[in-house]
Copies of this chain bind each other. A is one copy, B any other.
Amino acid sequence: MPAERTPAALPVAAARRRRLRADRARQLADLLRHQILTGAFPRGVLPLEDVLAADHHASRNTVRQALDLLRGEGLVERQPGVGTVVVGEKYPHGLDRLQGLAEILREHGRVTNEVRNLGPVRAPGPVAHRLGLPDDADVLCVERLRRLNGLPLSLDLSYLPMDVGGELLGCDLENTDVFRLLERLTGGPLGHADITLEAVNADAHAAAVLQAPRGAALLMLERLTHLPCGRPVDLEFIRFRGDRITMSGVLRRSP
């Protein structure tokens, strides 16, 4: 290819090599991320760069760039004399069943909730509408900062109809999932929930509450939970720290 030999083509070729290396580094980082999250590295120490390069048929430069990406995500750190170690832990949140946070994370530790706001408010129009309430109804508004083993995990805002939510006012919201309290109050299991997941950047205030950097990627879950009879009873907006949670499930091709 003669064009490669002209002086003008040299920067183009160099840019192409940089692009290819960036692609390969991202691809390698994706594989390592999965291994980190599934606990594939004994004692949380990653293999040496040479070993990673051989395992992945990659250059050492690519390995270094991939580790830089994972460091940027707060998943690993370089420790002198030890190597690259896993520092961030992400917790799995099932997409297969409707569960409360303490239930889901039972094996991982203790969930505690700091109640930041609690009390009746006049329902904003869309809240009344989605909960099937008259426009001028009051709803219970509960905002909680949820922690796992003391580390901030999510900021949850819930709206509940007063006949159901009012009963929560005397309950131990600091140590109990709202789902569990609702089931105690209604005497049976909840029904289903409509959920929507999005990735959003944290605004300055949400970042401060979650002790995350401003702009940090958050996994945002909107959830409308219904009683078995179909009545909607809990409208939630949950901001999970993206570096601390993953959502997993199984999808089938046939309905």
Contacts and interface: CB of A to CB of B under 8 A. Distances in A.
Interface of A: 19, 22-23, 25-28, 30-31, 34-35, 37, 40, 55-58, 69, 72-73, 90, 95-98, 116-117, 121-122, 124-127, 141, 143, 157, 189-201, 203, 205-206, 215-220, 222-223, 237, 240, 242, 245-255
Nearest to A72: B203
20 contacts: A23-B116, A31-B124, A73-B201, A189-B253, A191-B253, A192-B253, A193-B251, A194-B248, A195-B250, A196-B246, A196-B247, A197-B197, A198-B247, A199-B199, A199-B242, A200-B242, A201-B201, A201-B215, A217-B218, A219-B219
A69 B143 CA distance: 19
A211 to B, nearest CB: 15
Contact of A198 (B19, B125, B219): B219
Contacts of A195: 95, 248-251
B191 A35 contact: no
A249 B198 contact: no
B249 A97 contact: no
A200 B73 contact: yes
Interface of A is mostly: mixed
A247 B246 CA distance: 14
A237 to B, nearest CB: 4
Contacts of A26: 203, 205-206
B250 A192 contact: yes
A57 B124 contact: yes
A82 to B, nearest CB: 22
A143 B194 CA distance: 33
A34 B198 CA distance: 11
A198 B242 contact: yes
Contacts of A55: 124-125
A58 B31 CA distance: 47
